[in-house]
A and B are shown apart, each in its own frame.
Chain A
Amino acid sequence: MAWDRNQMAARAARELKDGFYVNLGIGIPTLVANHIDESIDVTLQSENGMLGMGPFPYDDEVDADLINAGKQTITELRRTSYFSSADSFAMIRGGHIDLSVLGAMEVSEKGDLANWMIPGKMVKGMGGAMDLVAGVKRVVVVMDHASKSGAPKLLHECSLPLTGRAVVDLVITNLGVFEIEAGKGMKLIELASGVCVDDVKELTQADFEVAVSS
């Protein structure tokens, strides 16, 4: 058992609250948009210069001047505004974005995040990830709990170069949900369906407190 990609995205979507301005990263975080509760009003930011990101266009609506940060064609909404990259990161760095959902390679029990480079492999760059984790009010990470070979990704200390130090507030994996409070460490607060605490412990190096409400 455990959660699949869509279930992880759906769980992350529950972190979005009415009135939030939200930036979604590439990969599973992008799927979060499909799971936003229709009763709440959320505005999606795209860091290449747009607030109020709409869904993918119909074939005859595709506009080369309208893309998201993953370079995918998208659409605008009635609320949409456009601005420069400097303005975009001013709102990110300035703490105006409520929540960011990002992918990760490793997260430490102190909330350190590594998601941009693996030494020895071609480095593509950090894009906007370092700015997002430094500036956004709340950072939610969605990631597989362990590597395909079973190596833990929730660690005492990240082994990969960091994207930010003590920046992660919540980690959602296929096995459960962890809260990270500054100076207090990691706390398991939810288990995925059919997963028990021992399953999680087996695949986790980081120390964590168990606070699962049954």
Chain B
Amino acid sequence: MKKIYPDAKAALDGLVFDGMTVMSGGFGLCGIAENLIIALRDTGVTDLTVVSNNAGVDDFGLGFLLQTRQIKKMISSYVGENKEFERQYLAGELELEFNPQGTLAERCRAGGAGIPGFYTKTGVGTVIADGKEHKDFGGETYILETGLVSDLSIVKAWKGDEQGNLVYRKTARNFNPMMAAAGKATVAEVEEIVPLGSLNPDGIHTPGIYVQRIIQAKHEKRIEQRTVRERESA
């Protein structure tokens, strides 16, 4: 089975349908599947439920899919950087489910690992616990959270090979590995597709079994907060 596709548009062909759930990797704008997000927008698919830690910014990342109103619901932990998101949410046009960041990460991990639910201390005694099963273990109270799977996961890695093995770079890893595993179909975009055998097998972060399609693409890698220090004069 050939996993390498020529571009983002071709890689999404036949994988999208209205009302589907999409997981989109990244933290802020770091490690997002820039090209696949644009290609997803261009398919015209609607009523998406998008699982993503953040919602992009107005004119980049998932902001593109918000501009075109293709998203019906977001499952996220923090959405503070997107004005259009705020406008649609306050106007009642967009559903929003907040998950604590670690709970969101673990829900994706569990989903990909075939675990339908898990107990966590996070959120006990808060609105997050409302309506959820509570259970005591060793004298402490935990709540039941469920695993998440997606119809399609779009992830970004640094390098990949024709088998779909992926290596991420620095903090651009974030949610990508769990979302890759939790997708019924997973498409990865990488900066470089390298020859088979050139990735160190001991250093592969996402084994190719989780990746059905892969493309090589160019990335803008926009920075949200460019913070620098002054070089001390020698």
The answer to whether A135 and B122 touch (CB under 8 A), given A49-B173, A86-B109, A126-B78, is: yes
Residues of A that sit less than 8 Å from B by CB = 46-50, 55-59, 62-74, 76, 82-86, 88-90, 92-93, 112, 122-131, 134-135, 161-166
- Determine the chain B residues whose CB is within 8 A of the CB of A125 once the complex forms: 76-80, 98
- Pick from B9-17, B63-71, B225-233 the stretch touching chain A: B225-233
Q: A64-B221, A65-B31 are known; give 14 further A-B pairs, CB within 8 A.
A: A48-B28, A49-B173, A71-B28, A71-B30, A74-B227, A84-B176, A85-B174, A86-B177, A88-B105, A89-B105, A112-B125, A127-B78, A131-B100, A162-B125
CA distance A17 to B124 in the complex (A): 29
Q: Which residues of B contact A93 (CB under 8 A)?
A: 102, 106, 120-122
Total A-B Cβ pairs within 8 A: 176
User: A83–B173 contact, CB under 8 A?
Assistant: yes
Among B120-144, those with CB < 8 Å from A are 120-128
Interface string of B74-112 (1 = CB under 8 A from A): 001111110000100110000000101111111011000
Whether B225 lies near A73 (C-beta < 8 A) is: yes
Q: Is B178 an interface residue (CB 8 A)?
A: yes
B102 to A92, Cβ gap below 8 A? yes
Chain B interface extent, by class: 35 or more
Q: How far is the CB of B57 from chain A (nearest CB, A)?
A: 10
| 22 A-B interface contacts by CB (under 8 A) | A55-B229, A57-B227, A59-B231, A62-B226, A64-B172, A65-B172, A71-B30, A71-B225, A85-B175, A93-B106, A123-B98, A124-B79, A126-B128, A127-B77, A129-B100, A130-B100, A130-B103, A131-B100, A134-B120, A162-B126, A164-B126, A165-B125
CB-CB under 8 A for A126 and B100, given A86-B106, A89-B105: yes
A72 to B80, CA, bound (A): 15
Residue contact A84 to B170, C-beta cutoff 8 Å: no
